[in-house]
């Protein structure tokens, strides 16, 4: 545990971190990848180039400093972060490397203001926090390997089938090359895919939600092709998978992970709201609820630009057709003429609170949502305005976690060990 003097010193650095946090994390990654270029095989290069990872880490360091005297306020996110680390293959030996480079970055950016006393305090604080992560992750590695059909590291899976779900989303049905059993998973979890792309210097690892229900002899991931748009770079892995990964090819997967999971003990009404490819974990949840809790009322809402890019529609409608408890609504903001002719959607435009209040039977429900960040911010704001209980609001970020409200310091993700 940290002594009172160390806590006092860390707290005194809060204003400095608020001002210079991103500069520190930018410098940290420069130092880290210069001294340990092999770690480029773990980190998401796109998030690096867009500054997402630097910002997420800066927010996490700031939150740790703010709450150093009451770490229990940020420790609930440890398990979420540890799931990501386990899926990426982060190990205990990585933590000293990160700590060394983080302290060096603080020294470089703050200069003489980073006294030996301050650096020592941060070294002690980092050690305490790192040990928590190491312990939680060690337990996760053991659980992943010991469960039926489980494994550690990355395991080869053969593409049994490749299905185009829309103009931009393709599903890959995956079975283990070794012919063995596969680990079960909680609806909402993801797998990491490790990819070596010809001509690229580094390995890429990306997380994809499992888009089918548990209990089947395969895993399914539904991947959106991310082409370059304005300042956003091309998604190298998604484009490569769409263009070059075919039936019979091999993908390397980590065991399922993630904390965005369906609470199957709850029997109250449930509301799923998705935008774009954000429907993938929710479809898995929907299938599970319909099969295991057939009396539970479900409202499933999906927003897409139009029918050309709307994936997994038929699967969702099949669930609704076999269950009177499932209500489905489609929202298109740029419908095509064909969509209009077929009356393929329920509303044109964007989801707002008055419409939600009209179609959702009660706010005394569990709400799960996933999609683009701005989409989720709008939903989060609407649900808070409706006075939906915070404990009933569940959501997933695709990529480094952030905040859905500017003052919500608890919604941070440490993106390095």
Residue numbers in the known binding site for FAD are 190, 206-209, 397-400
d(CA 315, CA 273): 16
Binding residues for heme b: 85
**Using the 8-state DSSP alphabet, how is residue 308 labeled?**
G
Map tokens 């969509």 to a residue: 339
Kind of pairing, strands 190-195 and 204-209? antiparallel
Distance CA 290, CA 326 (A): 8
Encoded tokens for 10? 């860390």
Residue 175 CA from chain centroid, whole number: 23
Q: Beta-carbon neighbour count of residue 112 at 10 Å?
A: 6
Strand-strand pairing, 298-304 and 270-275 = parallel
* H helix and E strand count, the chain: 13, 12
* Kind plus residue range of the DSSP H or E element containing 253: strand 250-253
Q: Which residues are catalytic?
A: 95, 137
Look at strands 250-253 and 155-164 and give their pairing.
antiparallel
Exposed/middle/buried for residue 277 (C-beta within 10 Å: 0-12, 13-18, 19+): buried
Pairing of strands 326-332, 155-164: unpaired
Separation of alpha carbons 341 and 88, rounded Å: 46
Q: What are the residues whose beta carbons fall under 8 Å from the beta carbon of 114, sequence distance 6 or more?
A: 106, 107
25's tokens: 């994390």
- In angstroms, the CA 287 to CA 277 distance is 17
| Strand bridging mode 366-370 / 270-275 | parallel
Long-range contacts (CB closer than 8 Å, 24 or more residues apart) made by 385-393:
385/353, 386/353, 386/356, 386/357, 387/363, 388/363, 392/365, 392/366, 392/367, 393/367
List the Cα angle 207/326/316 in 5-degree steps. Answer: 45
Binding-site residue set for NADP(+): 276-281
Which residues are known binding-site members? Answer: 85, 190, 206-209, 276-281, 397-400
Structure tokens at 355: 């419409």
């Amino acid at each position: 545990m940290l002594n009172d003097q160390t806590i006092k010193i860390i707290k005194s650095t809060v204003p400095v971190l608020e001002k210079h946090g991103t500069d520190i994390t930018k410098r940290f990654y420069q130092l880290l990848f210069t001294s340990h270029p092999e770690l480029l095989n773990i980190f998401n290069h796109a998030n690096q180039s867009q500054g997402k990872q630097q910002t997420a880490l800066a927010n996490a360091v700031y939150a740790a400093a703010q709450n150093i005297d009451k770490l229990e306020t940020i420790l609930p996110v440890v398990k979420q972060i540890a799931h990501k680390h386990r899926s990426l293959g982060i190990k205990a030996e990585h933590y000293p490397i990160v700590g060394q480079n983080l302290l060096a970055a603080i020294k470089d950016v703050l200069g003489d203001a980073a006294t030996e006393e301050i650096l020592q305090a941060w070294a002690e604080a980092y050690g305490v926090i790192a040990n928590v992560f190491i312990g939680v992750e060690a337990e996760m590695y053991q659980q992943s390997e010991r469960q039926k059909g489980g494994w550690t590291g990355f395991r080869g899976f053969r593409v049994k089938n490749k299905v185009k779900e829309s103009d931009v989303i393709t599903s890959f049905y995956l079975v283990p090359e070794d012919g063995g059993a596969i680990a079960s998973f909680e609806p909402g979890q993801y797998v990491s895919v490790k990819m070596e792309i010809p001509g690229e210097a580094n390995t890429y690892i990306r997380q994809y939600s499992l888009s089918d229900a548990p209990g089947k002899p395969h895993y399914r991931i539904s991947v959106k092709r991310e082409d370059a748009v304005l300042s956003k770079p091309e998604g190298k892995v998604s484009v490569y998978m769409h263009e070059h990964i075919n039936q019979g090819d091999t993908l390397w997967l980590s065991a399922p992970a993630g904390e965005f999971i369906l609470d199957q003990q709850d029997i109250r009404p449930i509301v799923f709201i998705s935008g774009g490819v954000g429907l993938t974990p929710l479809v898995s949840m929907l299938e599970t609820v319909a099969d295991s809790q057939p009396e539970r009322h479900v409202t499933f809402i999906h927003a897409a630009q139009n029918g050309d890019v709307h994936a997994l529609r038929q699967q969702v409608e099949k669930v609704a057709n076999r269950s009177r408890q499932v209500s489905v609504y489609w929202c298109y903001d740029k419908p095509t003429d064909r969509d209009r002719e077929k009356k393929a959607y329920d509303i044109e435009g964007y989801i707002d609170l008055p419409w939600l209040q009209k179609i959702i039977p009660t706010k005394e429900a569990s709400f799960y949502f996933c999609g683009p960040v701005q989409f989720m911010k709008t939903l989060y704001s609407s649900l808070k305005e409706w006075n939906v209980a915070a404990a009933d609001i569940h959501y997933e970020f695709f990529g480094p976690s952030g905040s859905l409200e500017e003052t919500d310091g608890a919604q941070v993700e440490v993106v390095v060990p």
